[in-house]
Structure 1
Amino acid sequence: MTQQRIGIWIIGAWGGVATTAAVGLSALKQGLTGTSGLVSENPYFEKLNLKNWDQFVVGGHEIRDTSFVEAARYFSENSGVFHPALLQAVEEDLKAYDQNVKPGTLIHVGDTIRSLAGDAVRKFDTESLQETLTRLTNDISEFQKQHDLAHVVVVNLASTEPPVEESAKSLSLAELKESLASAVTSPVPASTLYAIAAMNAGCSHLNFTPSAGTDLPALIELAEEKQVLHAGRDGKTGETLMKSVLAPMFAHRNLNVMSWVGHNIFGNLDGKVLDDPVNKSNKVVSKDHLLTEILGYKPQTLVSIEYIESMGDWKTAWDHIHFKGFLDTKMALQFTWQGTDSILAAPLMLDMVRFTEREWRRGNKSGIMTHLSSFYKSPMQATTPEFERQYQQLEQWADTVSEES
């Protein structure tokens, strides 16, 4: 008997990370690439009986007028990320995925993201809030029905929104429902509307962005009501990953960190959006809180993020750590992290989808998945900010799942 497949519904479907994930999924399915960068392919997780790569189907919501095929071709030409021969090999799969992408929403995305929107999504500008939620929910449900999918995992990979309004942080679920039913403007941003649609469709939800998503009291309530799994927020792929590894070293050796400066440059679409100071503020907060949590005190910090168009999808992070040792001697450590943003992030998204599906298949279908904390800069309800301890939690979860099998 053929097993039912699993859907991956991506918010920001034709963005860099999503396109890289789609190309990678097809390449993995066809055996055209190795498994470097995929946590779920570590030998430790073989016992989990995770879904094979050919058991996933991709769809999603998008606000721009493009396609997986066009986006992948642009990445290949602009950043040298994909070899042309690989793109030719995966093109049919990308075209099939393109058929599953629907227009998203521009409600509370901010002016910078709205400026990227194409004609297909703008025609829904006159919708009411309820009409938008119904449409987004139906898109996901129809995707699941059309492809006879056992389950769908919704993943937010869209560009970073402006910070959520303070009033939304105190809304109960009852208050949110009442507001959505009667208000002219949404009390929550697009990322949260997508999350509500996902939960209404009975889907698990992963937020790989700094945007609010499900990280609001009302959405945590909704997840319990709808009995769905969720996790977030903001994928930990580069500089912050290094911080979560290095900061414990300073703490454990009792070396006093006086200042930690991080300068980031990159040139992809996400970088363009973050060039807007309002959107950037959301990302900076996500990257900067970690040190205080690990060290137990707050050193002087500076996090800068700059859009340099010529960089394309390549990003460089330069960090300068000024610390004090024995006899109050001042010393410094510097590191440079260079990589392609999408190549670092895409496999982690695929990993989380596999782990989420396994938790759903296990029968635990409600609540925040804290065992995925190692994938996030600002993990919801995390018990530790240190990467190594977070990764141990993932392994402990795997032990528990395999013992139950």
Structure 2
Amino acid sequence: MSAPAVRTGVWFIGARGSVATTATAGCAAVAAGLHRAAGMVTETPPFTGSGLPALTSLVFGGHDTAGCPLPKRAETLADGGVLPQGLPSAVRSELAAADAGIRPGGPLPGDTRSDEELITAFAADLTDFGRRNDLARTVVVNVASTEPVPAPGEQRLPASSLYAAAALRAGCPYINFTPSTGLRTPALQDAVAACGLPHAGRDGKTGQTLLRSVLAPMFVQRALPVRAWSGTNLLGGGDGAALADPGAAAAKNAGKERVLADTLGTAPEGEVHIDDVPALGDWKTAWDHIAFDGFLGARMVLQTTWQGCDSALAAPLVLDLARLVARAHELGMSGPLPQLGFYFKDPDGGPAALFEQYQALLAFAGTLRGER
């Protein structure tokens, strides 16, 4: 008799949001051979033999405060052009199974539970998910809407940190794909140090900042001083609404600015403006205006325009990260994983330039294969 298949849980914070829905539907579609794995770096040849969990072995669940079932959410995304028409029907059973694993999040308005009570409840949901599905491990991935930066002196933990604390308590590796606080709060410093679990980054690098991490090294390597670097984001959907809050926008922009400061050695003049345009739905336009000096002070400008769908850009990266961190956990790794900086605006150390981050990621693939 063959041994039972090892299964890995992927627990999304924000499980009914656009990114989680796209990742869940996309995993089912790729696993069934309905679509190729475009955007999934872990499905490229350098990762062959790295021992990553198979897409067919992933089991999805999560927390969310929204009540729209995943099959219906997927239909809405298909109507908006994010998912291919017909895909929600083709993977309806997988979406329904994942939706059955989603538990109410919090705290909602009027919730009187303390931080400790919320952490305990969330951790119990994770433990129950692993037991019911006979999982070898569960990776928690935060893909919820961006939170404002906590106010100075705030006594309560932000929701992202409550979920992160619950992951540690339940023995689950943790990934923060958002700019929200998550593990990076002094209140969790001791728990993070003692947990013995791998965890990764903050704020996924999907579009505008991805391009910045490629272009900024070009200016440095060609000795072209950058005088100013300004940007504008036009976006709708849940992100547009969430980032209309100045506090949430400030948290989002911190990662964008860090890439430039780390690469150029100083933060250039300029900032990123974020405008909520509901008519755009899940699509966005990102524009950058880069002013730089050439030989003998000749003043020049480079402008870039990025138009895309954040959910479709983020979903394959989220699946990559879940598989990589699950494998790291299987091998007994613990602590931050700077080798995964390729995926983040605000990584756990390591280089800022995309090429160097990619080389570190390939080396990490070798480590997962058992190479020195």
> TM-score, normalising length from structure 1?
0.88
1:392 aligns with 2:359: yes
- Tell me how far 1:2 sits from its aligned partner: 1.8
Letter in 2 for 1:55: S
CA distance, structure 1, for counterparts of residue 66 and residue 102 of structure 2: 11
Q: Is the 8 A contact 2:243 2:274 kept in 1?
A: yes
Q: Is the 8 A contact 1:223 1:229 kept in 2?
A: no
- Tell me how far 1:400 sits from its aligned partner: 2.4
Q: Is the 8 A contact 1:19 1:68 kept in 2?
A: yes
Distance 1:47 1:66, change over 3 A: same
- The count of residues paired between Structure 1 and Structure 2 equals 370
Write out per-residue CA displacement over residues 364-387 of structure 1, whole angstroms, 9 at most, x where no aligned residue.
Answer: 1x200111111000112x122111
- Tell me how far 1:166 sits from its aligned partner: 4.1
- Tell me how far 1:133 sits from its aligned partner: 1.3
Helix, strand or coil at the partner of 1:47: coil
Runs (4+) of structure 1 exceeding 6 A deviation are none
Write out per-residue CA displacement over residues 162-182 of structure 1, whole angstroms, 9 at most, x where no aligned residue.
Answer: 1034457xxxxxxxxxxxxxx
Q: Is the 8 A contact 2:257 2:267 kept in 1?
A: no
Letter in 1 for 2:122: L
Helix, strand or coil at the partner of 2:91: helix
Match of 2:345 among 352, 372, 377: 377
State the partner residue of 2:98. Answer: 97
Helix, strand or coil at the partner of 1:163: coil
Letter in 2 for 1:162: P
Q: Is the 8 A contact 1:10 1:156 kept in 2?
A: yes
CA distance, structure 2, for counterparts of residue 295 and residue 122 of structure 1: 43
Helix, strand or coil at the partner of 1:49: coil
Helix, strand or coil at the partner of 1:48: coil
- Tell me how far 1:309 sits from its aligned partner: 0.8
Q: Is the 8 A contact 1:288 1:301 kept in 2?
A: no
CA distance, structure 1, for counterparts of residue 188 and residue 44 of structure 2: 33
CA distance, structure 1, for counterparts of residue 186 and residue 342 of structure 2: 22
Letter in 2 for 1:340: C
1:34 aligns with 2:36: yes
Write out per-residue CA displacement over residues 130-187 of structure 1, whole angstroms, 9 at most, x where no aligned residue.
Answer: 221111110000000000000000000010101034457xxxxxxxxxxxxxxxx52x
Helix, strand or coil at the partner of 2:214: helix
CA distance, structure 2, for counterparts of residue 122 and residue 87 of structure 1: 32
For 1:55-74, what aligned pairs fall within 5 Å after superposition?
55-74=57-76
Q: Is the 8 A contact 2:148 2:250 kept in 1?
A: yes
State the partner residue of 1:116. Answer: none
Write out per-residue CA displacement over residues 199-240 of structure 1, whole angstroms, 9 at most, x where no aligned residue.
Answer: 000000000000010123443431231211111200000000
Q: Is the 8 A contact 1:154 1:206 kept in 2?
A: yes
CA distance, structure 2, for counterparts of residue 199 and residue 298 of structure 1: 35
Letter in 2 for 1:30: A
- Tell me how far 1:290 sits from its aligned partner: 1.7
- Structure 2 runs not aligned, ≥5 long: none
For 1:14-25, what aligned pairs fall within 5 Å after superposition?
14-25=16-27
- Root mean square deviation, CA, Å: 1.5
CA distance, structure 2, for counterparts of residue 61 and residue 40 of structure 1: 26
Distance 1:4 1:21, change over 3 A: same
Question: What fraction of aligned residue pairs are identical, expressed as a percent?
Answer: 43
Helix, strand or coil at the partner of 1:289: helix
1:148 aligns with 2:134: yes
1:246 aligns with 2:228: no
- Tell me how far 1:193 sits from its aligned partner: 0.7
CA distance, structure 1, for counterparts of residue 85 and residue 135 of structure 2: 31
Letter in 2 for 1:377: K
- Structure 1 runs not aligned, ≥5 long: 107-120, 169-184
- Tell me how far 1:82 sits from its aligned partner: 1.8
Q: Is the 8 A contact 1:275 1:307 kept in 2?
A: yes
CA distance, structure 1, for counterparts of residue 263 and residue 92 of structure 2: 45
CA distance, structure 1, for counterparts of residue 367 and residue 235 of structure 2: 40
- Tell me how far 1:126 sits from its aligned partner: 2.0
For 1:73-222, what aligned pairs fall within 5 Å after superposition?
73-77=75-79, 79-106=80-107, 125-167=111-153, 186=156, 188-222=157-191
Q: Is the 8 A contact 1:292 1:299 kept in 2?
A: yes
Letter in 1 for 2:81: G
CA distance, structure 2, for counterparts of residue 378 and residue 95 of structure 1: 34
- Structure that is richer in helix per residue: 1
Write out per-residue CA displacement over residues 298-352 of structure 1, whole angstroms, 9 at most, x where no aligned residue.
Answer: 3212201111111111111111111101010011111111111100001000000
> TM-score, normalising length from structure 2?
0.96
Distance 1:383 1:156, change over 3 A: same
Letter in 2 for 1:12: G
